Structure 1
Amino acid sequence: MYDKDDPRSALATAGRPDAGADIAAAQYLDLTATPIVRAQNVVLIHTDAREGDDLDTGALEGELAVVVTDASPAFTVFTDAGATTVDTPGLVVVPPGASRISVHGDGPLVRLVEATEPAWRDRAANADAYAKDHERVALLRRWPEPADGPRVRVYPLSEVPDDPKRFGRIFRTRSFMVNFLPRQDGPRDPHRLSPHHHDDFEQLSLAVQGEYVHHIRTPWLPDRTGWREDEHVRIGSPSVTIIPPPTVHTSEAADPGANQLIDIFSPPRQDFSEKPGWVLNADDYPMP
């Protein structure tokens, strides 16, 4: 449940999980050891980039999204339409087709591609976890095309300061939703956590600074052999935790210094999209 001053408290309350398909296990993935991982609908590629690197994602059937953090280097995106240089944190969206990234410094870059991309779908370290689709997760159906056609789009965080009336800083594309949550200085107040669940989509919680304890509870279904103990897993950064539906979950910043999470969803969330002002680039990407 959410505190009354949490912007998410106004979202529609989800129902109880039904007794249908098995509930998948959560996954805790250290991106220094496994830099390419996936969920049902998205592949996440973490690159510890270096000056002069040339990152070729290939010719994609869907979009490429690049998550740029405070620690990321500047880079230039090359497509058939030209070159776009990025030197500030935020989200970069590259339309389908061939593209490459020329790196102008040292630091992490995170790329997102659709999980059905032939060049990437089997390269994830946890590919075996998705040998079969997870029945409780809705498959990706791309949202409508951008209102003014395909092009490289850059959404700098510097243009949208944090606002306590809004939950994070959210951008969406046709295939992804990325929420840059505020940096947490020091541990989170243990009296103000926000356990909740999602009915039919996974959450990828990307830790880019600090450490987090992910608290996850698997609801009891009629078949007792599928019950799990509650999990309280501490993991550092860079890491990604894949949280399956309909597990009850909340993430607790644990490092005495800076902690930051970026939440990723595919497809975009309908409930967040319906909240006026929450999706900062909603004018570019129409809802279905």
Structure 2
Amino acid sequence: MSAAIEPSWSLYYASEPQLSASGQKTWITRSANVVVVVSQVVAGTELVRESNPDEYMLLLPPGIRASVQSDDQSVDAAPETLTILPPGRTVIKVLDDGLVTRVFSVRAKDLASQAGNGSVYVNGAPSVAPLEDWPAPVDGFRIRNYKLADYTDPKIFGRLFRSTNLMINVFERKTDRRDPRKMSPHSHADFEQISLTLEGDFVHHLRTPWTPDSTAWREDQHLEVSSPSAIVIPANLIHTTADVGQGVAWLIDIFGPPRMDFSLQPGVVRNADEYPMPAAR
């Protein structure tokens, strides 16, 4: 089966932001179920959600701190942390100049409607399973902050976290390059993947599977990108990514809803004890 929709990419370093305001520039990219919001901000910028319908995530890079508030909770988020924010009103006050990433579901309609690649989804995404919430966290909705350095274990794949509606894999920042003899081309049957690059240079390798209709066959794509940038990989599209060049490389993979295949592997999802799987599993 070929991909029902086209892959799309956003080169934030070479394109105008979707939102510009005093103290910030914001780029927005969406998939069928997820919205990624990357903002270049100055210290003191407040990122406010007056009434967000569901949970969302905040990723802070090295050197960037933030104060995160909900109606009944306040958390100081250190650099190199992932924070899950509850539904409702939240305020993120960024305390340093730099780039911050937020990840929402498409229920944040005001953001989804402003995505730079929004035209891809004007007719929906029939190849993608719909967004369905997983069970609420065992101790209720609240701000949850994870220091990423505490989850570095070479025996466990990536650094996967899930909420009721999203899953993120925050790979470690690295300076050694991927072995070109150990790539991992694969596809996903009914969900999309957003790969966000925050540091370094990468090549995204994409292959459209052949179908009986040879007129629909396409050449492989080898998309070379710098950072920050994002690519949305449709369901059924064969893909793999390699870091190239010199220096630090940092890649994040994002999904919505949480992936069951990862969740069924013991120990792989680092906060699985806080977020139950659906009862059928």
Same fold by TM-score greater than 0.5 = yes
- The alignment partner of 2:109 has SS state of coil
- Matched-pair contact (CA < 8 Å) for 2:49–2:88: no
Q: Could you say which residue in structure 2 is the equivalent of 1:142?
A: 133
Q: Kindly indicate whether residue 108 of structure 2 is the aligned counterpart of residue 117 of structure 1.
A: yes
- Residues 113-155 of structure 1: per-residue CA shift (max 9 Å, x gap): 1113232221111111111221111111011100011110001
Q: Could you say which residue in structure 2 is the equivalent of 1:23?
A: 4
- Matched-pair contact (CA < 8 Å) for 2:5–2:120: no
For structure 1, the 5+ residue unaligned runs are 1-16
Farther off after superposition, 215-224 or 259-268: 215-224
- Residues 13-50 of structure 1: per-residue CA shift (max 9 Å, x gap): xxxx4x7xx53221121124241111110111100121
Q: Could you say which residue in structure 2 is the equivalent of 1:54?
A: 46
Q: Kindly indicate whether residue 265 of structure 2 is the aligned counterpart of residue 275 of structure 1.
A: yes
- The alignment partner of 1:225 has SS state of helix
TM-score (norm 1): 0.89
Moved over 4 A (4+): none
Shift of 1:62: 1.0
User: Number of paired residues?
Assistant: 267
- Residues 147-179 of structure 1: per-residue CA shift (max 9 Å, x gap): 011110001112212x23211111000111111
Q: Could you say which residue in structure 2 is the equivalent of 1:8?
A: none
Of 39, 43, 62, which residue of structure 1 is paired with 2:35? 43
- The alignment partner of 1:129 has SS state of helix
Q: Could you say which residue in structure 2 is the equivalent of 1:254?
A: 244
- Matched-pair contact (CA < 8 Å) for 1:207–1:240: yes
- The alignment partner of 1:120 has SS state of helix
Shift of 1:186: 4.2
Quote the Cα distance in structure 1 between the aligned partners of 2:80 and 2:93.
16
Shift of 1:60: 0.8
Q: Could you say which residue in structure 2 is the equivalent of 1:99?
A: 90
Of 88, 110, 125, which residue of structure 1 is paired with 2:79? 88
**Amino-acid identity (%):** 39
- The alignment partner of 1:258 has SS state of coil
Shift of 1:264: 0.6
- Matched-pair contact (CA < 8 Å) for 1:186–1:254: no
- Matched-pair contact (CA < 8 Å) for 1:30–1:240: yes
For structure 2, the 5+ residue unaligned runs are 18-26
Q: Structure 2 counterpart of 1:30, which letter? A: L
Mapping for residues 188-267 of structure 1, pairs under 5 Å = 188-267=178-257
Q: Structure 1 counterpart of 2:7, which letter? A: A
- Residues 160-203 of structure 1: per-residue CA shift (max 9 Å, x gap): 12x23211111000111111113331432211111111111111
Q: Could you say which residue in structure 2 is the equivalent of 1:12?
A: none
Q: State the superposition RMSD in angstroms.
A: 1.5
- The alignment partner of 1:105 has SS state of coil
Q: Structure 2 counterpart of 1:23, which letter? A: A
Quote the Cα distance in structure 1 between the aligned partners of 2:151 and 2:109.
35
- The alignment partner of 2:267 has SS state of coil
